Amino acid sequence: LSYAKTFGPNFSGGLKFNYHTVSITDYGNIYAFSIEAGLQVKVLPELILGTHVINPTCARFGTELQNPLLTTFKFGCHYDFSKRSFWVTEVEKALSFAPVFKTAIEYGLAEVISLRGGILTNPFRQTAGIGVHTASFRMDIGAMSHSTLGFSPQMNLAYAF
């Protein structure tokens, strides 16, 4: 369950309530509740800053599971170079893990075609992609390179009625 609201032209926020469940045959079920919250501020017409916290209450599945629900803090920004090109960056820190730095750029080649590229740390990963967008159709193709997992292609198709 999520709720988001804008508070004027430069500020917005959101709150999300999550229900997590794990079901293992012959072991039973376990559940937990968590929340998320986010804020976004338009500092300049071309610059947006945002923050997001996931599971700030450190909710867990109890003592039965070794994989707890992570508490994660994120801070990011979006900077528009032009109507069709922008840069995004984010720092993500989950408790008990090293911070992850993410940055990417999108360049609009034409009115409907965009090229994308980015990098992430911990572990180091590279991303690249292309997007084709019209008023009612959207196609995105991308890939990520990971030193251990290898090459991971992705594709998205969407049509608006």
Burial class (CB in 10 A: 0-12, 13-18, 19+), 5: exposed
The whole-number average pLDDT for the span 117-141 is 95
- 154 bridge partner residues: 142
Q: Report whether pLDDT(96) > 80.
A: yes
Q: What's the pLDDT score for residue 147?
A: 84
Alpha-carbon span 97 to 74, nearest angstrom: 13
List Cβ neighbours of 26 (8 Å cut-off, separation of 6 or more).
Answer: none
pLDDT band at 156; cut points 50, 70, 90: very high
pLDDT, one tens digit per residue, over 19-70 is 999 888 888 888 889 999 999 999 999 999 999 999 999 888 877 667 778 9
Q: What's the pLDDT score for residue 30?
A: 86
The overall average pLDDT reported for the chain is: 93
